[in-house]
Homo-oligomer: A and B are copies of this chain.
Amino acid sequence: MPDLFGDRLIDAIASRQAPICVGIDPIFDQFPSELTEDIDPGDTDAVLDSIFEFTTRVLETVAPLVPVVKFQSAYFEKYLWEGVEAYYSLIAEAKAMGLLVIGDIKRGDIGTTAAAYAEGHLDDVATDDIEDAATPDAITVNPMMGADTLEPFVKVARATDKGLFVLVRTSNPGSGEFQDVKLEDGRTWSEMLAERVNQIAEGLVGSSGYSSIGTVVGATQTATMESLRRRLPKSIFLLPGYGAQGATAEMTRSAFQNKTGAVVSASRSILYAHKDKKYAAHFGDDWEAAVKQAVLDMKADLDKVLS
């Protein structure tokens, strides 16, 4: 396995032949009934046990099919420190199954504070002495505070062969309001950001031609995708927004370069496929079969664009 995160991810995408990231967003309310019945939603221990079982079974289902999963920290932080313990523990499980793991934490802060975040969230030293806990292979970071605030994260990523995904253009409906605003030089704010992040990404490019400093670009952002890709030729694009947020495979086309360099992320449309009429009718209570089929359908959808 190559050392640099960017190379490892490009390799894993190729070996699974699936540029797919499954988002681990454990939302108890949406779980299959077999994992919620008889559980009091106010009983945190019981809810966390259920989150553990649900997530483990999702990971087992998707591990043979996809290269990478993305854990959404918020759904664990909701359960305070017990949730955070589950986060690190389930990341260790995912890594043991051969999956690459992105921690979707969207942190960002000034120098010494950013360094503390990087240590806790990216540096294995934090978990080395703890059984059944691991830090992710990469984390998402928020660059709003300035490029200087990214440096401590880049430093730890470089020292530990890990990666970052810097928010450049997000997938939410209101994302354009602050990110697509036009600067006096004609670029949008995100385009300016993309050019600056590219300078940082160029410092950590591996043999695949891609950097360990990737970027988050909403799969929903077709209008600006090409422009951002041109400005960030060496960053792996992590593209959230597929499925539940409305993006299609076709919308991600210009994020790919020679059929690689991007990974499309879907969370709710895969994890809760059992609630989708399309799958419910066919699979009934077999929710894991629905998860698997949703991944296979997404793969087929992306294949059409990449073939």
Contact = CB atoms under 8 A, between A and B. Distances in A.
Interface of A: 25, 27, 42, 44, 72, 74-75, 77-85, 88, 106-114, 116-117, 119-121, 126-127, 129-130, 133, 142-149, 167, 170-179, 181-184, 186, 189, 192-193, 196
A144 B142 contact: yes
B117 A77 contact: yes
Contact of A148 (B74, B148, B172): B172
Given A74-B109, A75-B116, A142-B142, 20 more contacts: A25-B112, A72-B116, A74-B120, A77-B120, A78-B116, A78-B120, A79-B126, A81-B82, A81-B84, A84-B84, A143-B144, A144-B178, A145-B170, A146-B172, A146-B174, A146-B177, A146-B178, A149-B172, A178-B193, A183-B184
A59 B125 CA distance: 30
A213 B281 CA distance: 46
A184 B110 CA distance: 28
B178 A189 contact: yes
Given A88-B80, A108-B106, A192 B174 contact: no
A113 B178 contact: no
